Amino acid sequence: MDNEMTLSFLAISENESLARMAVTSFVAQLDPTIDELSEFKTIVSEAVSNAIIHGYDEDGKGVVTIHAVREGDVISVAVKDQGKGIFDVQKAREPLFTSKAEMERSGMGFTIMESFADDLQVESEPNIGTIVTFSKKFYSVRMPQIS
């Protein structure tokens, strides 16, 4: 393992940008391209929003934890909550499925996460919580070193 980071914060929607900022700094050492970085930030944003909105109903009390690990040019991330859990994970992962249509949630979160991550797992248990884990390899076109 080359580097590791853990960040915990309350289930308040303002913290979605905090989470993106922290992971952006964490992957900076890999010199990601603009597209790699924005795809990576999108995955984190979707997972963290899900934890805050669906896991905790934005109660401002629950804690969301992000654990990120860097091994070479691969970053692995776990986004964890101890909220209400997902009753049917398979259903939740279907495109356009949402339990909060009135909030204009598009139901595209998992589809976007799956498309931008190299692999993505969802473990969830009702009333225990949810862990979304994913990894992404950074190919980052690096400038040749000038000696």
Footprint of another protein (CB under 8 A): 13-14, 16-17, 20, 34-35, 38-39, 41-42, 45-46, 49, 52-53, 95, 103-106, 108-109, 111-112, 115-116
Q: How far is the CB of 29 from another protein (least distance, A)?
A: 20
Note if 94 is an active site residue: no
Note if 114 is an active site residue: no
- What does the longest C-alpha to C-alpha distance in the chain come to? 58
Q: Nearer to another protein by C-beta: 3 or 38?
A: 38
Q: Nearer to another protein by C-beta: 42 or 135?
A: 42
Q: Across the beta sheet with 3-10, what order do the strands follow?
A: 3-10, 63-71, 74-81, 129-137, 119-125
Q: Residue by residue, what is the 3-state secondary structure of 96-135?
A: CCCCCHHHCCCCCHHHHHHHHCCEEEEEEECCCEEEEEEE
Note if 105 is an active site residue: yes
Q: What angle do CA 3, 83, 37 make, to 5 degrees?
A: 35
Instruction: Look up tokens 């589809």; give the residue.
Output: 111
Catalytic residue among 15, 16, 36, 46: 46
Q: How far is the CB of 145 from another protein (least distance, A)?
A: 27
Q: Nearer to another protein by C-beta: 1 or 141?
A: 141
Active site residues: 46, 50, 105
